[in-house]
Structure 1
Amino acid sequence: MPEQNTTSTGSRARRLLLPAAVLLALLAVTAFLLLGGQGGDGGDDTTAGSSGQSTGTGGEQDGGVDMPAADASEEEIVSALESLARREEGDPMALGDVDAPVVMISYSEFQCPFCGRFARETEPVLVEEYVEDGSLRIEWRDFPYLGEESRTAALAGRAAAAQDGFWEFEEAMFENQQPPNSGRVTPDFLADVAEQVGLDRQQFLTDLESEEAAAAVDRDFQEGQSIGVTGTPAFLVNGQPVMGAQPTDVFVEVVEEALAEAEAGR
Protein backbone atom coordinates (compact mmCIF):
# COMPACT_ATOMS: atom_id res chain seq x y z
CA MET A 1 0.00 0.00 0.00
CA PRO A 2 1.17 3.59 -0.51
CA GLU A 3 3.25 5.13 2.23
CA GLN A 4 1.40 7.77 4.21
CA ASN A 5 1.64 9.91 7.30
CA THR A 6 -0.56 7.84 9.59
CA THR A 7 -0.31 10.30 12.47
CA SER A 8 -2.21 13.02 10.64
CA THR A 9 -3.91 11.59 7.57
CA GLY A 10 -6.67 9.77 9.43
CA SER A 11 -7.92 12.82 11.25
CA ARG A 12 -7.66 14.90 8.08
CA ALA A 13 -9.63 12.31 6.12
CA ARG A 14 -12.39 12.31 8.72
CA ARG A 15 -12.59 16.10 8.59
CA LEU A 16 -12.99 16.01 4.80
CA LEU A 17 -15.76 13.44 4.77
CA LEU A 18 -19.25 14.84 4.40
CA PRO A 19 -21.24 13.44 7.36
CA ALA A 20 -24.28 11.50 6.21
CA ALA A 21 -26.41 13.62 8.53
CA VAL A 22 -25.35 16.70 6.56
CA LEU A 23 -26.21 14.92 3.34
CA LEU A 24 -29.67 14.17 4.73
CA ALA A 25 -30.20 17.91 5.24
CA LEU A 26 -29.14 18.49 1.63
CA LEU A 27 -31.62 15.85 0.55
CA ALA A 28 -34.45 17.59 2.37
CA VAL A 29 -33.61 20.91 0.68
CA THR A 30 -33.23 19.24 -2.72
CA ALA A 31 -36.55 17.45 -2.33
CA PHE A 32 -38.29 20.72 -1.49
CA LEU A 33 -36.76 22.56 -4.43
CA LEU A 34 -37.42 19.82 -6.95
CA LEU A 35 -40.82 18.65 -5.77
CA GLY A 36 -42.39 21.63 -4.07
CA GLY A 37 -40.60 24.71 -5.27
CA GLN A 38 -40.57 24.50 -9.03
CA GLY A 39 -42.79 27.48 -9.70
CA GLY A 40 -40.12 30.09 -10.37
CA ASP A 41 -37.73 30.70 -13.20
CA GLY A 42 -34.72 31.55 -11.03
CA GLY A 43 -32.22 29.27 -9.41
CA ASP A 44 -28.95 27.56 -10.16
CA ASP A 45 -28.63 25.51 -13.33
CA THR A 46 -27.35 22.62 -11.22
CA THR A 47 -30.87 21.94 -9.92
CA ALA A 48 -32.13 20.85 -13.33
CA GLY A 49 -30.80 18.42 -15.89
CA SER A 50 -28.61 19.98 -18.53
CA SER A 51 -30.89 18.44 -21.12
CA GLY A 52 -33.69 20.64 -19.86
CA GLN A 53 -35.64 17.69 -18.46
CA SER A 54 -37.08 17.80 -14.98
CA THR A 55 -35.37 15.76 -12.31
CA GLY A 56 -36.60 13.94 -9.26
CA THR A 57 -35.51 12.79 -5.85
CA GLY A 58 -36.13 9.07 -5.94
CA GLY A 59 -39.26 7.02 -5.58
CA GLU A 60 -40.81 6.40 -8.98
CA GLN A 61 -38.36 8.65 -10.86
CA ASP A 62 -35.75 6.71 -12.83
CA GLY A 63 -32.28 7.40 -11.49
CA GLY A 64 -33.42 8.52 -8.03
CA VAL A 65 -32.91 6.78 -4.73
CA ASP A 66 -35.39 5.98 -1.99
CA MET A 67 -33.83 7.54 1.09
CA PRO A 68 -34.77 6.80 4.72
CA ALA A 69 -37.11 9.08 6.62
CA ALA A 70 -35.85 12.38 8.00
CA ASP A 71 -35.30 10.88 11.45
CA ALA A 72 -33.15 8.02 10.13
CA SER A 73 -29.81 7.30 11.70
CA GLU A 74 -26.56 8.07 9.93
CA GLU A 75 -25.97 4.34 9.56
CA GLU A 76 -29.29 3.94 7.73
CA ILE A 77 -28.45 6.83 5.41
CA VAL A 78 -25.00 5.44 4.59
CA SER A 79 -26.57 2.04 3.93
CA ALA A 80 -29.06 3.61 1.50
CA LEU A 81 -26.25 5.44 -0.30
CA GLU A 82 -24.17 2.26 -0.41
CA SER A 83 -27.04 0.54 -2.22
CA LEU A 84 -26.47 2.88 -5.19
CA ALA A 85 -23.51 0.72 -6.22
CA ARG A 86 -24.71 -1.11 -9.33
CA ARG A 87 -22.14 -3.92 -9.40
CA GLU A 88 -23.19 -4.82 -12.95
CA GLU A 89 -21.09 -7.55 -14.53
CA GLY A 90 -19.36 -6.22 -17.63
CA ASP A 91 -20.20 -2.57 -16.94
CA PRO A 92 -17.86 -0.69 -19.33
CA MET A 93 -17.95 2.39 -17.07
CA ALA A 94 -16.67 0.55 -14.02
CA LEU A 95 -13.19 -0.62 -13.04
CA GLY A 96 -12.56 -3.57 -10.77
CA ASP A 97 -14.18 -6.77 -9.57
CA VAL A 98 -17.95 -6.80 -9.37
CA ASP A 99 -17.73 -8.26 -5.85
CA ALA A 100 -14.95 -5.99 -4.53
CA PRO A 101 -15.42 -5.22 -0.81
CA VAL A 102 -15.26 -1.46 -1.46
CA VAL A 103 -17.09 0.44 -4.18
CA MET A 104 -16.31 4.06 -4.97
CA ILE A 105 -19.04 5.81 -6.94
CA SER A 106 -17.61 8.84 -8.72
CA TYR A 107 -19.93 11.64 -9.85
CA SER A 108 -17.78 13.38 -12.41
CA GLU A 109 -17.72 15.34 -15.64
CA PHE A 110 -15.19 16.03 -18.37
CA GLN A 111 -15.11 19.84 -18.15
CA CYS A 112 -14.45 19.98 -14.40
CA PRO A 113 -10.79 20.85 -13.70
CA PHE A 114 -10.93 19.19 -10.28
CA CYS A 115 -12.24 15.99 -11.86
CA GLY A 116 -9.25 16.19 -14.17
CA ARG A 117 -6.87 16.54 -11.26
CA PHE A 118 -8.40 13.51 -9.54
CA ALA A 119 -8.21 11.47 -12.76
CA ARG A 120 -4.58 12.38 -13.43
CA GLU A 121 -3.16 12.27 -9.90
CA THR A 122 -5.29 10.04 -7.67
CA GLU A 123 -7.16 7.57 -9.84
CA PRO A 124 -4.00 5.83 -11.14
CA VAL A 125 -2.80 5.28 -7.56
CA LEU A 126 -6.14 3.80 -6.49
CA VAL A 127 -6.22 1.55 -9.56
CA GLU A 128 -2.70 0.25 -9.00
CA GLU A 129 -3.00 -0.24 -5.25
CA TYR A 130 -6.62 -1.34 -4.80
CA VAL A 131 -8.47 -2.03 -8.06
CA GLU A 132 -5.88 -4.40 -9.44
CA ASP A 133 -5.84 -6.56 -6.30
CA GLY A 134 -9.64 -6.81 -6.18
CA SER A 135 -10.14 -4.57 -3.14
CA LEU A 136 -11.81 -1.63 -4.88
CA ARG A 137 -14.30 -1.09 -7.66
CA ILE A 138 -14.74 2.38 -9.20
CA GLU A 139 -18.06 3.19 -10.86
CA TRP A 140 -18.36 6.35 -12.97
CA ARG A 141 -21.53 8.44 -12.88
CA ASP A 142 -22.15 11.28 -15.35
CA PHE A 143 -22.85 14.62 -13.67
CA PRO A 144 -22.64 17.12 -16.56
CA TYR A 145 -23.59 20.28 -14.71
CA LEU A 146 -21.27 22.89 -16.23
CA GLY A 147 -23.10 23.39 -19.52
CA GLU A 148 -24.01 21.97 -22.89
CA GLU A 149 -20.43 20.96 -23.69
CA SER A 150 -20.45 18.91 -20.50
CA ARG A 151 -23.48 17.02 -21.72
CA THR A 152 -21.94 16.49 -25.17
CA ALA A 153 -18.80 15.11 -23.52
CA ALA A 154 -20.89 12.83 -21.29
CA LEU A 155 -22.66 11.46 -24.36
CA ALA A 156 -19.23 10.91 -25.91
CA GLY A 157 -18.20 8.90 -22.88
CA ARG A 158 -21.22 6.68 -23.43
CA ALA A 159 -20.31 6.32 -27.10
CA ALA A 160 -16.80 5.25 -26.09
CA ALA A 161 -18.26 2.81 -23.57
CA ALA A 162 -20.31 1.22 -26.36
CA GLN A 163 -16.98 0.15 -27.86
CA ASP A 164 -15.56 -0.86 -24.45
CA GLY A 165 -13.21 2.10 -24.57
CA PHE A 166 -14.58 4.37 -21.85
CA TRP A 167 -11.57 4.39 -19.54
CA GLU A 168 -9.09 4.96 -22.36
CA PHE A 169 -11.33 7.80 -23.57
CA GLU A 170 -11.57 9.21 -20.04
CA GLU A 171 -7.80 9.24 -19.66
CA ALA A 172 -7.30 10.93 -23.02
CA MET A 173 -9.98 13.54 -22.30
CA PHE A 174 -8.43 14.52 -19.00
CA GLU A 175 -4.90 14.50 -20.38
CA ASN A 176 -6.02 17.00 -23.02
CA GLN A 177 -8.69 18.71 -20.93
CA GLN A 178 -10.22 21.80 -22.47
CA PRO A 179 -11.24 24.93 -20.50
CA PRO A 180 -14.90 24.84 -19.45
CA ASN A 181 -17.32 26.09 -22.09
CA SER A 182 -14.52 27.07 -24.46
CA GLY A 183 -16.47 26.02 -27.53
CA ARG A 184 -13.84 23.40 -28.31
CA VAL A 185 -15.67 20.30 -27.07
CA THR A 186 -17.46 19.55 -30.32
CA PRO A 187 -18.45 16.19 -31.84
CA ASP A 188 -15.45 16.43 -34.20
CA PHE A 189 -13.05 17.09 -31.31
CA LEU A 190 -14.53 14.19 -29.35
CA ALA A 191 -14.33 11.90 -32.37
CA ASP A 192 -10.66 12.84 -32.73
CA VAL A 193 -10.09 11.77 -29.13
CA ALA A 194 -11.97 8.54 -29.78
CA GLU A 195 -9.82 7.78 -32.82
CA GLN A 196 -6.72 8.57 -30.78
CA VAL A 197 -7.56 5.73 -28.38
CA GLY A 198 -8.39 3.29 -31.19
CA LEU A 199 -12.17 3.58 -31.48
CA ASP A 200 -14.13 3.49 -34.71
CA ARG A 201 -14.92 7.10 -35.55
CA GLN A 202 -18.16 6.60 -37.49
CA GLN A 203 -19.60 4.19 -34.92
CA PHE A 204 -18.62 6.63 -32.19
CA LEU A 205 -20.43 9.52 -33.89
CA THR A 206 -23.52 7.36 -34.39
CA ASP A 207 -23.58 6.28 -30.75
CA LEU A 208 -23.02 9.88 -29.67
CA GLU A 209 -26.49 10.69 -31.02
CA SER A 210 -28.26 7.66 -29.59
CA GLU A 211 -31.33 7.91 -27.37
CA GLU A 212 -29.86 5.18 -25.18
CA ALA A 213 -26.80 7.29 -24.40
CA ALA A 214 -28.95 10.32 -23.62
CA ALA A 215 -31.18 8.32 -21.27
CA ALA A 216 -28.17 6.87 -19.45
CA VAL A 217 -26.61 10.30 -18.93
CA ASP A 218 -29.92 11.67 -17.66
CA ARG A 219 -30.29 8.75 -15.26
CA ASP A 220 -26.86 9.34 -13.73
CA PHE A 221 -27.36 13.09 -13.48
CA GLN A 222 -30.72 12.64 -11.83
CA GLU A 223 -29.32 10.10 -9.39
CA GLY A 224 -26.65 12.53 -8.25
CA GLN A 225 -29.13 15.36 -7.84
CA SER A 226 -31.49 13.12 -5.90
CA ILE A 227 -28.89 12.64 -3.15
CA GLY A 228 -27.83 16.28 -2.98
CA VAL A 229 -24.80 16.38 -5.29
CA THR A 230 -24.37 19.92 -6.63
CA GLY A 231 -20.82 19.84 -8.02
CA THR A 232 -17.98 17.57 -9.01
CA PRO A 233 -16.13 15.51 -8.22
CA ALA A 234 -18.25 13.88 -5.55
CA PHE A 235 -17.73 10.34 -4.28
CA LEU A 236 -19.46 7.66 -2.27
CA VAL A 237 -17.07 5.12 -0.75
CA ASN A 238 -19.24 2.26 0.50
CA GLY A 239 -21.91 4.90 1.04
CA GLN A 240 -19.72 7.40 2.84
CA PRO A 241 -19.69 10.75 0.99
CA VAL A 242 -16.36 12.38 0.15
CA MET A 243 -16.51 15.75 -1.56
CA GLY A 244 -13.95 17.23 -3.92
CA ALA A 245 -10.57 16.28 -5.36
CA GLN A 246 -8.92 15.72 -2.00
CA PRO A 247 -5.23 14.77 -1.78
CA THR A 248 -4.45 11.22 -2.77
CA ASP A 249 -3.51 10.18 0.74
CA VAL A 250 -6.99 11.16 1.94
CA PHE A 251 -8.57 8.78 -0.55
CA VAL A 252 -6.10 6.08 0.47
CA GLU A 253 -7.13 6.55 4.11
CA VAL A 254 -10.84 6.45 3.26
CA VAL A 255 -10.45 3.28 1.20
CA GLU A 256 -8.35 1.65 3.94
CA GLU A 257 -11.02 2.47 6.53
CA ALA A 258 -13.75 1.06 4.27
CA LEU A 259 -11.71 -2.11 3.75
CA ALA A 260 -11.24 -2.52 7.50
CA GLU A 261 -14.97 -2.08 8.08
CA ALA A 262 -15.79 -4.57 5.32
CA GLU A 263 -13.40 -7.12 6.77
CA ALA A 264 -14.96 -6.64 10.20
CA GLY A 265 -18.30 -7.68 8.73
CA ARG A 266 -20.03 -4.30 8.76
Structure 2
Amino acid sequence: MKLNALTRRTAILAVSFLTMAACGASGDESGEGPNSAALQEISLGEADAPVTIVEYASWTCPACLQFHNEVVGNLKEDYVDTGKVRYVFREFPTAPANVSVAGFALARCAGEDRYYDVLDELFSRQTAILSLARQGGQVKQALQQIGANHGITDETEFDACLNNSDIRRAISASVAAGDEAGVNATPTVFLNGEQLEGYEWRQWPAMQTMLDEALGEDAPEIATEAGMEEAETPAMTDEGDMSDESMNIETESMDETEGEAAPQQ
Protein backbone atom coordinates (compact mmCIF):
# COMPACT_ATOMS: atom_id res chain seq x y z
CA MET A 1 0.00 0.00 0.00
CA LYS A 2 1.45 3.34 -1.05
CA LEU A 3 1.19 6.00 1.62
CA ASN A 4 0.59 9.66 0.95
CA ALA A 5 2.96 12.26 2.35
CA LEU A 6 0.67 13.18 5.24
CA THR A 7 0.38 9.58 6.40
CA ARG A 8 4.14 9.06 6.26
CA ARG A 9 4.83 12.25 8.21
CA THR A 10 2.26 11.24 10.80
CA ALA A 11 3.93 7.83 11.17
CA ILE A 12 7.25 9.53 11.84
CA LEU A 13 5.77 11.90 14.42
CA ALA A 14 3.84 9.09 16.09
CA VAL A 15 7.05 7.35 17.13
CA SER A 16 8.00 10.32 19.30
CA PHE A 17 5.20 9.64 21.76
CA LEU A 18 4.03 6.08 21.18
CA THR A 19 6.34 4.40 23.65
CA MET A 20 5.60 6.90 26.38
CA ALA A 21 1.86 6.42 25.94
CA ALA A 22 2.21 2.65 25.78
CA CYS A 23 3.44 2.49 29.36
CA GLY A 24 1.18 5.19 30.71
CA ALA A 25 4.23 7.35 31.38
CA SER A 26 3.96 10.91 32.64
CA GLY A 27 6.02 12.45 29.87
CA ASP A 28 9.38 12.58 31.60
CA GLU A 29 11.99 12.42 28.85
CA SER A 30 14.98 11.98 31.09
CA GLY A 31 14.87 8.19 30.85
CA GLU A 32 18.11 6.55 31.84
CA GLY A 33 19.75 3.77 29.88
CA PRO A 34 22.44 3.00 27.33
CA ASN A 35 22.00 5.96 24.99
CA SER A 36 25.29 6.46 23.16
CA ALA A 37 25.50 2.99 21.62
CA ALA A 38 21.79 2.80 20.82
CA LEU A 39 21.83 6.04 18.83
CA GLN A 40 24.30 4.70 16.28
CA GLU A 41 23.26 2.70 13.22
CA ILE A 42 23.67 -0.89 14.31
CA SER A 43 25.05 -3.19 11.63
CA LEU A 44 26.44 -6.70 11.28
CA GLY A 45 29.54 -7.59 9.31
CA GLU A 46 32.68 -5.84 8.21
CA ALA A 47 32.45 -2.09 7.66
CA ASP A 48 34.37 -2.43 4.39
CA ALA A 49 32.43 -5.43 3.06
CA PRO A 50 31.96 -5.16 -0.73
CA VAL A 51 28.18 -5.48 -0.50
CA THR A 52 25.78 -3.71 1.86
CA ILE A 53 22.22 -4.88 2.46
CA VAL A 54 19.83 -2.46 4.16
CA GLU A 55 16.47 -3.85 5.24
CA TYR A 56 13.54 -1.68 6.33
CA ALA A 57 11.21 -3.92 8.27
CA SER A 58 9.01 -4.38 11.31
CA TRP A 59 9.00 -7.28 13.71
CA THR A 60 5.17 -7.09 13.79
CA CYS A 61 4.90 -7.52 10.00
CA PRO A 62 4.07 -11.11 8.89
CA ALA A 63 5.85 -10.73 5.54
CA CYS A 64 8.93 -9.51 7.43
CA LEU A 65 8.80 -12.62 9.62
CA GLN A 66 8.75 -14.81 6.52
CA PHE A 67 11.73 -12.94 5.06
CA HIS A 68 13.55 -13.13 8.39
CA ASN A 69 13.04 -16.89 8.60
CA GLU A 70 13.76 -17.73 4.96
CA VAL A 71 16.50 -15.27 4.06
CA VAL A 72 18.14 -13.36 6.90
CA GLY A 73 19.56 -16.38 8.73
CA ASN A 74 21.21 -17.70 5.57
CA LEU A 75 22.42 -14.21 4.71
CA LYS A 76 24.15 -13.86 8.06
CA GLU A 77 25.75 -17.30 8.00
CA ASP A 78 26.91 -17.42 4.39
CA TYR A 79 27.70 -13.79 3.61
CA VAL A 80 27.85 -11.57 6.72
CA ASP A 81 29.93 -13.91 8.87
CA THR A 82 32.31 -14.53 5.96
CA GLY A 83 33.02 -10.82 5.44
CA LYS A 84 31.23 -10.51 2.11
CA VAL A 85 28.19 -8.50 3.21
CA ARG A 86 27.44 -5.76 5.70
CA TYR A 87 23.82 -6.01 6.92
CA VAL A 88 21.83 -3.11 8.37
CA PHE A 89 18.35 -3.42 9.84
CA ARG A 90 16.35 -0.19 9.98
CA GLU A 91 13.19 0.01 12.06
CA PHE A 92 9.98 0.78 10.17
CA PRO A 93 7.15 0.19 12.68
CA THR A 94 3.84 -1.29 11.53
CA ALA A 95 0.55 -2.02 13.27
CA PRO A 96 0.04 -2.30 16.13
CA ALA A 97 2.41 0.64 16.03
CA ASN A 98 2.91 1.14 19.77
CA VAL A 99 3.75 -2.53 20.27
CA SER A 100 6.13 -2.45 17.33
CA VAL A 101 7.92 0.65 18.62
CA ALA A 102 8.14 -0.78 22.14
CA GLY A 103 9.91 -3.88 20.84
CA PHE A 104 12.35 -1.81 18.81
CA ALA A 105 13.06 0.33 21.87
CA LEU A 106 13.95 -2.79 23.86
CA ALA A 107 16.36 -3.89 21.14
CA ARG A 108 18.11 -0.53 21.18
CA CYS A 109 18.23 -0.36 24.97
CA ALA A 110 19.87 -3.77 25.07
CA GLY A 111 22.85 -2.26 23.23
CA GLU A 112 24.76 -3.04 20.07
CA ASP A 113 25.96 -6.47 21.19
CA ARG A 114 22.41 -7.67 21.90
CA TYR A 115 20.39 -5.66 19.38
CA TYR A 116 20.08 -8.41 16.79
CA ASP A 117 19.53 -11.07 19.44
CA VAL A 118 16.52 -9.10 20.70
CA LEU A 119 15.24 -8.71 17.13
CA ASP A 120 15.53 -12.47 16.63
CA GLU A 121 13.47 -13.14 19.75
CA LEU A 122 10.87 -10.51 18.81
CA PHE A 123 10.42 -12.16 15.43
CA SER A 124 10.24 -15.62 17.00
CA ARG A 125 7.44 -14.45 19.30
CA GLN A 126 5.57 -12.40 16.70
CA THR A 127 2.62 -14.76 16.35
CA ALA A 128 2.07 -15.08 20.10
CA ILE A 129 2.40 -11.36 20.81
CA LEU A 130 0.12 -10.32 17.95
CA SER A 131 -2.43 -12.83 19.23
CA LEU A 132 -2.24 -11.20 22.66
CA ALA A 133 -2.70 -7.78 21.05
CA ARG A 134 -5.81 -8.95 19.19
CA GLN A 135 -7.28 -10.40 22.37
CA GLY A 136 -6.36 -7.49 24.64
CA GLY A 137 -3.89 -9.71 26.48
CA GLN A 138 -0.77 -9.09 28.52
CA VAL A 139 1.45 -7.64 25.80
CA LYS A 140 3.50 -5.58 28.23
CA GLN A 141 4.35 -8.65 30.28
CA ALA A 142 5.43 -10.52 27.15
CA LEU A 143 7.73 -7.67 26.16
CA GLN A 144 9.06 -7.41 29.71
CA GLN A 145 10.06 -11.08 29.54
CA ILE A 146 11.96 -10.47 26.31
CA GLY A 147 13.68 -7.49 27.90
CA ALA A 148 14.61 -9.56 30.95
CA ASN A 149 16.18 -12.17 28.69
CA HIS A 150 18.55 -9.52 27.40
CA GLY A 151 19.52 -7.56 30.49
CA ILE A 152 16.51 -5.28 31.07
CA THR A 153 15.60 -6.97 34.29
CA ASP A 154 12.95 -4.98 36.15
CA GLU A 155 9.85 -2.91 35.41
CA THR A 156 11.48 0.40 36.29
CA GLU A 157 14.27 -0.23 33.81
CA PHE A 158 11.75 -1.41 31.21
CA ASP A 159 9.63 1.74 31.58
CA ALA A 160 12.72 3.95 31.48
CA CYS A 161 13.75 2.31 28.22
CA LEU A 162 10.40 2.85 26.53
CA ASN A 163 10.27 6.40 27.89
CA ASN A 164 13.75 7.32 26.65
CA SER A 165 13.54 10.30 24.30
CA ASP A 166 16.87 9.51 22.62
CA ILE A 167 15.66 6.02 21.74
CA ARG A 168 12.41 7.40 20.33
CA ARG A 169 14.34 9.90 18.22
CA ALA A 170 16.59 7.14 16.90
CA ILE A 171 13.57 5.11 15.75
CA SER A 172 12.01 8.24 14.26
CA ALA A 173 15.24 8.84 12.34
CA SER A 174 15.06 5.32 10.93
CA VAL A 175 11.49 5.91 9.73
CA ALA A 176 12.48 9.27 8.27
CA ALA A 177 15.36 7.67 6.36
CA GLY A 178 12.99 5.11 4.92
CA ASP A 179 10.52 7.81 3.97
CA GLU A 180 13.25 9.74 2.18
CA ALA A 181 14.32 6.56 0.36
CA GLY A 182 10.76 5.96 -0.84
CA VAL A 183 9.93 3.03 1.42
CA ASN A 184 6.18 2.49 1.57
CA ALA A 185 5.88 -1.18 2.53
CA THR A 186 7.72 -3.79 4.53
CA PRO A 187 10.02 -5.52 4.05
CA THR A 188 11.92 -3.27 1.66
CA VAL A 189 15.54 -4.15 0.88
CA PHE A 190 18.34 -2.15 -0.72
CA LEU A 191 21.43 -3.83 -2.18
CA ASN A 192 24.33 -1.38 -2.46
CA GLY A 193 21.84 1.49 -2.44
CA GLU A 194 19.51 0.05 -5.08
CA GLN A 195 16.02 -1.01 -4.04
CA LEU A 196 15.21 -4.61 -4.94
CA GLU A 197 12.05 -4.82 -7.03
CA GLY A 198 9.53 -7.60 -7.34
CA TYR A 199 9.22 -10.47 -4.89
CA GLU A 200 11.75 -13.09 -5.94
CA TRP A 201 14.36 -11.75 -3.52
CA ARG A 202 12.14 -12.80 -0.63
CA GLN A 203 13.21 -16.37 -1.37
CA TRP A 204 16.75 -17.38 -0.47
CA PRO A 205 17.83 -18.87 -3.84
CA ALA A 206 16.99 -15.63 -5.66
CA MET A 207 18.61 -13.46 -3.00
CA GLN A 208 21.72 -15.64 -3.10
CA THR A 209 21.95 -15.17 -6.87
CA MET A 210 21.65 -11.39 -6.49
CA LEU A 211 24.36 -11.34 -3.83
CA ASP A 212 26.72 -13.46 -5.91
CA GLU A 213 26.19 -11.23 -8.93
CA ALA A 214 26.93 -8.16 -6.81
CA LEU A 215 30.09 -9.86 -5.55
CA GLY A 216 31.12 -10.84 -9.08
CA GLU A 217 30.85 -14.53 -8.29
CA ASP A 218 29.33 -17.22 -10.49
CA ALA A 219 25.85 -18.17 -9.42
CA PRO A 220 23.60 -20.95 -10.74
CA GLU A 221 20.43 -19.97 -12.52
CA ILE A 222 17.29 -20.54 -10.51
CA ALA A 223 13.65 -20.88 -11.37
CA THR A 224 11.61 -18.11 -9.80
CA GLU A 225 8.33 -19.03 -8.21
CA ALA A 226 5.28 -18.32 -10.33
CA GLY A 227 2.38 -16.33 -9.10
CA MET A 228 4.23 -14.13 -6.61
CA GLU A 229 1.91 -11.21 -7.16
CA GLU A 230 1.31 -8.17 -5.04
CA ALA A 231 -2.05 -9.56 -3.95
CA GLU A 232 -0.15 -12.26 -2.08
CA THR A 233 1.01 -9.72 0.47
CA PRO A 234 -1.78 -7.26 1.23
CA ALA A 235 -0.99 -4.16 3.26
CA MET A 236 -2.37 -3.39 6.68
CA THR A 237 -5.94 -2.13 6.61
CA ASP A 238 -6.91 1.27 7.89
CA GLU A 239 -8.65 -0.48 10.78
CA GLY A 240 -5.22 -1.41 12.09
CA ASP A 241 -4.13 2.23 12.28
CA MET A 242 -3.15 3.67 15.63
CA SER A 243 -5.37 6.25 17.29
CA ASP A 244 -4.98 8.26 20.48
CA GLU A 245 -7.54 6.00 22.16
CA SER A 246 -5.74 2.74 21.33
CA MET A 247 -2.14 3.26 22.38
CA ASN A 248 -2.07 1.02 25.46
CA ILE A 249 0.03 -2.04 24.73
CA GLU A 250 -2.10 -4.04 27.17
CA THR A 251 -5.36 -3.64 25.25
CA GLU A 252 -4.80 -2.48 21.68
CA SER A 253 -6.60 -4.71 19.20
CA MET A 254 -5.52 -5.42 15.67
CA ASP A 255 -7.03 -6.96 12.58
CA GLU A 256 -5.93 -10.25 11.07
CA THR A 257 -3.19 -9.37 8.59
CA GLU A 258 -0.98 -11.34 6.30
CA GLY A 259 1.74 -10.16 4.01
CA GLU A 260 3.51 -6.87 3.75
CA ALA A 261 2.53 -3.90 5.83
CA ALA A 262 2.88 -0.17 5.54
CA PRO A 263 3.89 2.00 8.54
CA GLN A 264 0.82 2.82 10.57
CA GLN A 265 -0.43 6.13 11.72
Normalising to structure 2: TM-score of the pair?
A: 0.62
Unpaired runs of 5+ in structure 2?
17-36, 218-265
What whole-Å deviation, never above 9, does each CA across 1:191-235 have from its counterpart, x for those lacking one? 201223x42323444222211100000000011011211111101
What is the root-mean-square deviation in Å for CA atoms of aligned residues? Answer: 3.0
Q: Which residue of 1 aligns with 2:143?
A: 190
Secondary structure of residue in 1 paired with 2:48: coil
Unpaired runs of 5+ in structure 1?
1-28, 39-44, 55-87, 262-266
Q: Provide the C-alpha distance between the structure 2 equivalents of 1:110 and 1:155, rounded to a whole number of angstroms.
A: 12
Asked if residue 246 in structure 1 is aligned to residue 246 in structure 2, the reply is: no
Cα offset, 1:184, TM superposition: 5.1
How many percent identity over aligned positions?
A: 24
User: 135, 140, 144: which one pairs with 2:89?
Assistant: 140
Structure 1 residues 185 and 241 mapped into 2: Cα distance closer, same or farther (>3 Å)?
farther
User: 115, 129, 154: which one pairs with 2:78?
Assistant: 129
Q: Which residue of 2 aligns with 1:161?
A: 111
Asked if residue 218 in structure 1 is aligned to residue 172 in structure 2, the reply is: yes
Secondary structure of residue in 2 paired with 1:110: coil
Structure 1 residues 115 and 192 mapped into 2: Cα distance closer, same or farther (>3 Å)?
same
Alignment of 1:24-39 (within 5 A): 34=5
Structure 1 residues 185 and 114 mapped into 2: Cα distance closer, same or farther (>3 Å)?
farther
Secondary structure of residue in 2 paired with 1:100: coil
Q: Which residue of 2 aligns with 1:95?
A: 44
Q: Provide the C-alpha distance between the structure 2 equivalents of 1:234 and 1:210, rounded to a whole number of angstroms.
A: 27
Q: Provide the C-alpha distance between the structure 2 equivalents of 1:111 and 1:259, rounded to a whole number of angstroms.
A: 32
Q: Which residue of 1 aligns with 2:53?
A: 104
Larger mean CA deviation between 224-233 and 142-151 belongs to 142-151
Q: Provide the C-alpha distance between the structure 1 equivalents of 2:143 and 2:15, rounded to a whole number of angstroms.
A: 24
What whole-Å deviation, never above 9, does each CA across 1:118-152 have from its counterpart, x for those lacking one? 21221111111101110001111010132222222
Contact 2:15 2:171 in 1 (8 A): no
Structure 1 residues 248 and 53 mapped into 2: Cα distance closer, same or farther (>3 Å)?
closer
Asked if residue 174 in structure 1 is aligned to residue 136 in structure 2, the reply is: no
Q: Provide the C-alpha distance between the structure 2 equivalents of 1:185 and 1:258, rounded to a whole number of angstroms.
A: 45
Cα offset, 1:186, TM superposition: 3.6
Cα offset, 1:156, TM superposition: 2.2
Letter in 2 for 1:144: P
Structure 1 residues 185 and 230 mapped into 2: Cα distance closer, same or farther (>3 Å)?
farther
Contact 2:103 2:122 in 1 (8 A): no
Q: Provide the C-alpha distance between the structure 1 equivalents of 2:78 and 2:146, rounded to a whole number of angstroms.
A: 28
Cα offset, 1:50, TM superposition: 5.2
What whole-Å deviation, never above 9, does each CA across 1:32-62 have from its counterpart, x for those lacking one? x53xxx5xxxxxx4553254379xxxxxxxx
Cα offset, 1:92, TM superposition: 7.1
Q: Which residue of 1 aligns with 2:223?
A: none
Structure 1 residues 193 and 53 mapped into 2: Cα distance closer, same or farther (>3 Å)?
closer
Structure 1 residues 47 and 124 mapped into 2: Cα distance closer, same or farther (>3 Å)?
same
Cα offset, 1:96, TM superposition: 0.6
Structure 1 residues 251 and 185 mapped into 2: Cα distance closer, same or farther (>3 Å)?
farther
Structure 1 residues 224 and 184 mapped into 2: Cα distance closer, same or farther (>3 Å)?
farther
Secondary structure of residue in 1 paired with 2:185: coil
Cα offset, 1:157, TM superposition: 2.2
Letter in 2 for 1:149: V
